[in-house]
Structure 1
């Protein structure tokens, strides 16, 4: 109780002792525990608060403000808060030195639970009269804006009542603000302020204060740790400029003016502002500006190179059409605007001589049509007949095909906006055109015609089905082109969903003769692919699956083709859902039939690999209980057969590889032991690989806890007893280590490090380093058919980043390597770099660049492509390590620009040389210029055109180094 704040000497202590500011938390504690009250504290501070010297009063206010900010928000009573508020408001008339502490203190007061909003009016009145906001520091200005925002959140109704004096004061306070952090804060709450607080006669003043920042011309300081970007400011400013309908005229005049600017950023900001404004302004606001707006938008849409500008122009056009459509039945402005677009673009379409010109014009029409239901109806009604006529002109095959795509796009929009009934006369003509197109025996026309037909399938009438099926079935039976076959099957599938009875009669029981499926050998595999595709449709499933499985069960020599067709179609999850596959297996015993067929044929000269895939994919789609039933039915029999022939293990693997994580039977332990035995000792490569994969799946899917520990211990015990001195066994062990590591890192288990260390150790052994690098490749590679979520495995999105970090740590301990071992070591890094996100590489810049530079000495295509790509990434980032090593890098890249074994390596090398010339300072590059120009000359005569093109680009950039007017990189 002897603390100084209990005594009248407190004022003197604050003046003389700066360390007292460190004791404010003790003051707060004494206030909360009621050892002292605020009134007494203020009385003890009277000497400093009323001191003649501004410096002392400032110090006193800072001390008291610090106490306020540390008090709990709900501690002070209504009367205490009111007393303190009044005290702080009075201090606004004090010396300018005191103002910062007053603003900070009042920022704390308004967040008090018992703050009285009625004191806000007096605060703002004195604030705007006594304090010139823009002559305060950045933080003080921020506090003023913060107080306005916070009080609006606290009681918007009261803030509305403050009237025009408050609005004027606030406008004056922010007029001239230049700090980007304050501006971003202002811009983020100004739209709400403008919408909620009545501006009265100050609308124009408010707009002028905001619009002076438009368009944003700002670049953050290079040393700013948390910079506000130009784009941040531009994005936040736009909603301010179109916050209320009353801003419309001012805003539109401004953006029309800036759209005419030669500055790209001004145009971009204006297009985005136009898009934003369409959400707020009234349609009639745009009427006087429509002609000018369309002219500006059309000009920006026509840019050939600037995709960002084109996209912004399309967005603005769509938004403008959308808002104008609200007056579609009230005045002619909307219809005239859309018809103006139509006339302009119809002319452009008619005059198009290239696909690019045609697509450019039609994209504008699609953007306008996508703007509203009304514009879609107008454009669709007009353009479908026009394009039908355009097609008949036979301008060129490419333009005719492009016109089909456009018709499909128009139909999709008409369907989206639900105007198919309004445009029925026009859209009903589309299938007839498709028939005309596909009747030509030209692949490109048929593919385009069928794809368009699939899009407009809803308007296909029955009278056209037969002629379409004639063409389609001819393709299925006779075409040798994979793309045409694929799209023909997709088209029959689409027609079958609309007209199942007709396709059943014409195709399934007709041309495909389902009851005598394999008697006609002509184009059998194509017909089987079509039938297995149609089997995904409910009306066809029973008939087709039954007949196909009859062939499988009948010892028919064509059964492998049936299995292949079923496997390919049922692997497509867009055709066959899990529910559908479960239904097929339950109703027709699909897995049982395929297992029986494989058991019968596996020792004959029959390819049964598609059967394994079909079993695995089918089981992946089944629920856990059905999986258990199938495993129980087949496991014991197949395990017995595995004792005599390793081939049977492949059936076992296909049954178990896709089981759910929750499925576990006692047989799993025996299968795990068998898999380990075969992974290392089977004479069949396919069996060894599949055994490794199944071991990996078991480890990955085992439930956390006892089950995982059991498998893991079984694995370690088995491998502990393996001889590491067996030269034939070691390569097989390394492959197994790779699969084990991949399985464990994907499930997020730290145990992967033990196995990764074993692989890394092999990299220093010349005899096994190649296998070690292949194991690293396996770990980093995508493997959609193994260890995937489709097979119910655990997968980690960030496992490659984790692999990179741990591989870097483990390889750091390796001794210096030479020859083949060093090449394998570098190749391992290449596999890691290739799959690791580039941003992660920034954590080890020096080490990575060193590895990449060393790799340029080896003639390994896979190694070189990755490492040159990594170098390019660091060059583009203007990495200092690269610039300091140019004497080493440049000769190696020049040598690789003539690398005979790979065109890709030559192109990459030249690209890297170009990037170096484009990224580093002239003073750094100039000493190398003449040598590079001389050395690149042979590449100009390379036998490959793409290499020559890149050589010209690289050599030209090097030639420009040091030239007058050169655009020097920063």
Structure 2
């Protein structure tokens, strides 16, 4: 191998061939054609050259070659020679130091590197490389050398004794770069746990303490290091060594007493984390300082986070220092708080939180709190005359009980006999006036259900049945349901026999069924609930209410596909369909409920089951749809949730279309047009389908009389096509643009149909096709078509309607999509503000202008003069909403544009605003005053 020839080709580290040449040499070493010593010998001319640049090039060549060979390819002797070489290079010119450090980092990673040489290299770094004078990346390399050395050669590092500690101390002192600091903090935790510091303990702590608390503002880059990253890494370092204990506690207490919130949060965390390392005696010695400071934060802070962290820290420290001989410290804390345990005290709630928090810390603290506090609270409960006060006390008692039950699985406690009375207090709350008390009683009983005696449960069953049939607010209802479900899980047979063992009156059937429905996910209640629902559906008197509650049940459990399969197996779907078919039900609410049940149950089922249910009911539903148009609601439920590959009769689209056009029932029309849009989206792209679209499209003749159902039908068919990006969609979009001018009353609703993603009939749950970014693509196409049509139309009314359509389009797409087309649509938005008198369209444009200004005001700047003139004219428009939106625009303009853009309009704006401040509507006057104040100051401040 012509090593010398290859070396002669190296000219510059930035040269494109540098890497290529070094890889050739690495390959030669791997294939044993040359040795690393041969390379060093050939590099001597470069390495000893008078030019610093040449010597640096030699080091960089060697570094690159080392990176290209396996870590087990060099023997110990070769590595020792290289170690000596790099150690020597650390004494060379400062320009060579970065390359030498990079080489050392690579070198010590080799498998056979002799450990006894690590001390020589490290001492050379300590003596010759002033770390904090190097560039950030080079300092990072040095810190990596420290980390790798300790990881691979721990015993050799320990043999260096304090030399290594002192060297590291000097290297890291004064580091400010967040990347380097994060690396150091993560590594120093291991360093401090492994390396004795001896008399350098205080120095090391002082170096770390200067960063506490971390005060760092991260740049806006998402991937940048945050203040929290640094703080989370620093804390374990400060707690890593038991020898840091006294200094660490003092530091934390000093910063906890500051006014800076991040200092408080970091200090609380430091106090808490230190409990895992420091001896409890240190916390005991400082307890007289710790408790007052934490108490002050808990009682006075307005920050929820600081309060939460303070409670957690108090819990951890109290658990750390409390044993049988130190209970006096805990007693002092409890005695301080007990005076606040009166329900009318402003400090009751927070004092209760403190006691509950301490009780949850350990079995010992919990037992002490129970003995000290529970009897007191029960006595206060007995003396309280107000139900609200009693509720607060019971709630606190149950929180204490919850902590107690984490350590002892029973309410029977010889030392605190009063614990067994707490369930009775909860039951008492269920009988008082006021839903707040009932809710608290129910929530508390959820915790205590496993520990209730039979007599207590009997009382609870009576109360639950009463609440079930009593109108309550939503919060109380949720608490009732949770309590019912909890006790049903523990005592299913008792709940069936004591609560649901009745046949309620028709007026009480709904809460009865809804309560049962809440239990359907419990194994012991699944069959019980379903059989009851089936019985109710088959009873024509109860069927309407039962079906409504079945709909509630399936919608609440809409992701529980296992339950849906179970309902199918229990014949629920067949029963609800046959209820309608056999009884000729025309009540639209019942039909709608049945339809929702059908779609929800059918959608997740297998292809085979959907085929089966389609064969069973398709013909019987649709064969009389001409005369029984309400059957279409069932047809919707049957077809809309089918998978795309389930074959459907080609004629169904024609049937649904005819009914949508023929029917005069608004509900039937709504179901028909959504179903047709759904079928269009999922239909196979065959000849019959294309022919159907052509037939329907041909019926929208220029001279045809239009009504809402015709327009709505066209919009839904178009939505079905554009969602799948069908080739026929363009023709239908052309039709819609024409409809905007011909049926203006439906413009806004029509645009909503096209671009709103909330239509269930077109959801992926119902297996519809939906291409990516369909809204943005449709927006771009429709903008172009509306503008083209606007330029063709001679009718002024038609032009206004098209401008309204353009305004409504902008309400349903992202701002980025609008900005992409803003240059094209801006002139037409100006025309809309000038020529249009549709309030919704005017509000849409003015709202859009504010969004554009907020996002990037430069987009609006070329058209600013025209827009502000039109906005100003609309500040006295007849409708209040338009006036308010335009005034908000004027206010925003002042905040985003420089005086040079605004000043020419100042006098005109202030003159107009003088009218607005006398507006008859208070909200308008308020916006006008704010706008006038800002415009008045324009140009006044230099």
TM-score, normalising length: structure 1: 0.79
Describe the superposition over 1:418-459 as per-residue Cα deviations: whole angstroms up to 9, x where unpaired. 655467855543443333333234344434444444454334
**Structure 1's 153 and 505: CA in aligned 2 closer, same or farther, altered over 3 A?**
same
- Contact kept, 8 Å, 1:14 with 1:60, in 2: the verdict is no
Describe the superposition over 1:169-206 as per-residue Cα deviations: whole angstroms up to 9, x where unpaired. 11111112223332233223222222233434332222
CA distance in 2, matches of 1:906, 1:461: 66
Structure 1 position 591, deviation (Å): 2.0
Structure 1 position 102, deviation (Å): 1.1
Out of 19, 22, 26, the residue aligned to residue 21 of structure 2 is 26
Out of 697, 713, 722, the residue aligned to residue 732 of structure 1 is 713
- Map 1:621-636; keep pairs closer than 5 Å: 627-636=610-619
Describe the superposition over 1:922-960 as per-residue Cα deviations: whole angstroms up to 9, x where unpaired. 998899999989988999999999889888888888899
**Structure 1's 906 and 342: CA in aligned 2 closer, same or farther, altered over 3 A?**
farther
Indicate the residue corresponding to 1:135 in structure 2: 133
Indicate the residue corresponding to 1:747 in structure 2: none
Indicate the residue corresponding to 1:50 in structure 2: 48
**Structure 1's 768 and 149: CA in aligned 2 closer, same or farther, altered over 3 A?**
farther
**Structure 1's 678 and 454: CA in aligned 2 closer, same or farther, altered over 3 A?**
farther
- Contact kept, 8 Å, 1:669 with 1:711, in 2: the verdict is no
CA distance in 1, matches of 2:295, 2:228: 24
**Structure 1's 730 and 961: CA in aligned 2 closer, same or farther, altered over 3 A?**
closer
Determine if the alignment matches structure 1 residue 329 to structure 2 residue 323.
Answer: yes
CA distance in 2, matches of 1:856, 1:342: 69
TM-score, normalising length: structure 2: 0.81
- Map 1:97-176; keep pairs closer than 5 Å: 97-112=95-110, 114-176=112-174
Please list every run of 5 or more consecutive structure 1 residues that lacks an aligned counterpart in the other structure.
514-519, 703-707, 745-750
- Contact kept, 8 Å, 1:314 with 1:364, in 2: the verdict is no
Out of 727, 743, 752, the residue aligned to residue 777 of structure 1 is 752
Indicate the residue corresponding to 1:803 in structure 2: 775
CA distance in 2, matches of 1:412, 1:440: 24
Secondary structure, counterpart of 1:563 in structure 2: helix
Structure 1 position 257, deviation (Å): 0.9
- Contact kept, 8 Å, 1:759 with 1:775, in 2: the verdict is no
**Structure 1's 25 and 531: CA in aligned 2 closer, same or farther, altered over 3 A?**
closer
- Map 1:612-627; keep pairs closer than 5 Å: 612-620=595-603, 627=610
CA distance in 2, matches of 1:850, 1:235: 54
- Contact kept, 8 Å, 2:485 with 2:518, in 1: the verdict is yes
Out of 454, 457, 463, the residue aligned to residue 462 of structure 1 is 454
Indicate the residue corresponding to 1:439 in structure 2: 431
Structure 1 position 143, deviation (Å): 1.5
Indicate the residue corresponding to 1:705 in structure 2: none
- Contact kept, 8 Å, 1:431 with 1:456, in 2: the verdict is yes
- Map 1:357-756; keep pairs closer than 5 Å: 359-372=349-362, 374-376=364-366, 378-379=368-369, 386-390=376-380, 402-403=392-393, 405-407=395-397, 409-415=399-405, 420-421=410-411, 425-426=417-418, 428-465=420-457, 467-477=459-469, 479=471, 491-492=483-484, 494-510=486-502, 512-513=503-504, 520-530=505-515, 533=518, 545-546=530-531, 548-554=533-539, 556-573=540-557, 578-587=561-570, 589-602=571-584, 604=586, 607-620=590-603, 627-642=610-625, 644-658=627-641, 661=643, 665-667=646-648, 684-691=665-672, 693-694=674-675, 710=684, 715-724=689-698, 725-726=700-701, 727=704, 728=706, 729=710, 731-742=712-723, 744=724, 751=725, 755=729
- RMSD value, Cα: 5.0
Structure 1 position 311, deviation (Å): 0.9
**Structure 1's 257 and 396: CA in aligned 2 closer, same or farther, altered over 3 A?**
same
- Map 1:185-334; keep pairs closer than 5 Å: 185-219=183-217, 228-303=225-300, 305=302, 307=303, 310-322=304-316, 324-326=318-320, 328-329=322-323, 331-332=325-326
Which has the higher mean CA deviation after the structures are superposed, 152-161 or 866-875?
866-875
- Contact kept, 8 Å, 1:731 with 1:768, in 2: the verdict is no
Describe the superposition over 1:566-594 as per-residue Cα deviations: whole angstroms up to 9, x where unpaired. 332343229x954455445434x322221
Structure 1 position 133, deviation (Å): 1.2
CA distance in 2, matches of 1:384, 1:895: 70
CA distance in 2, matches of 1:755, 1:542: 48
Indicate the residue corresponding to 2:796 in structure 1: none
CA distance in 1, matches of 2:846, 2:367: 53
**Structure 1's 948 and 476: CA in aligned 2 closer, same or farther, altered over 3 A?**
farther
Please list every run of 5 or more consecutive structure 2 residues that lacks an aligned counterpart in the other structure.
791-798
CA distance in 2, matches of 1:296, 1:400: 31
Describe the superposition over 1:375-403 as per-residue Cα deviations: whole angstroms up to 9, x where unpaired. 45554665555555555565766665555
- Contact kept, 8 Å, 2:910 with 2:932, in 1: the verdict is yes
Which has the higher mean CA deviation after the structures are superposed, 280-289 or 18-27?
18-27
Structure 1 position 261, deviation (Å): 1.9
